[in-house]
Amino acid sequence: MTGNRLLHVFARFSGTFRTKCEQGVTHMRSSRKLTPELWRQLVELVERGASVRRAMLSLGVSERTLRYWHRLAKEHPKSDFARLFADLERAESRYVARASEALQESLEERRDWRGWLAVLERKDPEGWGTKQSPSVIVNAGTREDSPAESRKRQEFLRQLSDEELNWLEVIAIKKEAWEEAEGDPEKYRERLEESEDLRRATESLQKYTRAQV
């Protein structure tokens, strides 16, 4: 028996050969699972708001397979798995964009916006998290709040009516203008006259008030 042959036999019985074979079989099985139809369904579910994990599980892809596909995508950037996760990321971005538009429409038409805001906070925490949420308008202090304090304030804001939130926004804008004017009444009035935010908030408040009459 030659040296190479001996090493091959030893590797086979030591487990190295078996491990490589098992990895190859798993890769082939994973490739067969990732059918065009499954791909389409995953993108559709994520585009409708499901997380990647939930979409996978609902279509029969186990968490173990999901982790393996993630690893394959990282190790092989040009593989189908890498393209799949790129497609899913774009699908989630499209959903966030639609949710953002729905939030804006809800604000303009005075519909309930809290559900859409909650969706955006979960889907895009960097863009719609605590620092970007309406809770910033009641932060009168200069220190950063703890996560617990921020959650409490957000929960408080969710209990307010649309009219109360409009009033709160107007007050916050005026407070900011007063601080920018450094307590000078004339500069304060100038700031208010120049403020597009105040004009918009006041118009929204007036529309809401007229609608309730």
CB 201 within 8 A of CB 166: yes
Residue 84 to residue 79: CA distance in whole angstroms: 9
Average pLDDT over residues 182-200: 77
204 closest CA partner among 177, 175, 158, 169 = 169
| Burial class for 128, CB neighbours closer than 10 Å (0-12, 13-18, 19+) | buried
More confident residue, 136 or 66: 66
**Residue 6 is assigned to a structural domain of this protein:** no
**Residue 39 is assigned to a structural domain of this protein:** yes
Domain assignment of residue 143, given as a range: 130-212
In this predicted model, what pLDDT tens digit does every residue of 133-158 receive, in sequence order?
Answer: 443 433 433 344 566 666 676 676 66
* Sequence-separated (6 or more) residues with CB below 8 Å from residue 171: none
CB 61 within 8 A of CB 67: no
In this predicted model, what pLDDT tens digit does every residue of 70-100 receive, in sequence order?
Answer: 999 999 999 999 999 999 999 988 887 787 7
- The verdict on 152 and 86 lying in the same domain is no
**In the chain, how many domains are there?**
2
- The verdict on 181 and 136 lying in the same domain is yes
